[in-house]
Amino acid sequence: MKAVLDHIGIAVRNLDEALAFYRDALGLPVEAHEDVESQGVRASFLPAGGVELELLEATAPESPIARYLEKHGPGLHHITLRVEDIAAALARLKARGVRLIDETPRNGASGSLVAFVHPSSAHGVLVELKQVLYTEKPREA
């Protein structure tokens, strides 16, 4: 199956301070900001070539990013690979005994389906698979 890197998720304690480094010091542009209340997270997306860095700040104390920061501190959180057929990808991984967090795809942001592979099967890496169903209008920065 064909897979391309879509983005890298980086957990940060403070989005504004993280933007002072990634945007202002490194000079990366910011394409979009999103506030996902249901996930207790707000995010900024910074294109770096064909992929994006996704800076993630927790907005609720029990959110996955808050729990990650508490346990590990800030840093590289996950990578997202875009595949053409997420159901086929999950079936292939399952047949090989790969441990999945999501056995079936669930709705992601912006018209996508997503599923996570468990880090124990991906050598310590939280791998998200993503299938784009349709393209929404471009996000505003």
Task: Give the residue with the Cβ less far from a second copy, 7 or 108.
Answer: 7
Q: Nearest distance from residue 56's CB to a second copy, in Å?
A: 10
Contact call for residue 96 and a second copy (CB under 8 A): yes
b/e burial code for range 29-67 (CB count within 10 A of at least 16 → b): eeebeeeeeebbbbbbbbeeeebbbbbbbbbeeebbbbe
Residues 61-90 that bind a second copy (CB under 8 A): 73-76, 79, 81-82, 89
Which one-letter DSSP state was computed for residue 97?
T
Q: What is the torsional sign of CA 36, 39, 40, 42?
A: negative
Contact pick of 38, 71, 107, 123 for a second copy (by CB under 8 A): 123
Tokens 């990634």, residue located? 22
> Where along the sequence are the contacts to a second copy (CB under 8 A)?
1-5, 8, 10-13, 17-18, 21-22, 24-28, 48-51, 53, 55, 73-76, 79, 81-82, 89, 92-93, 96, 98, 119, 121-125, 127
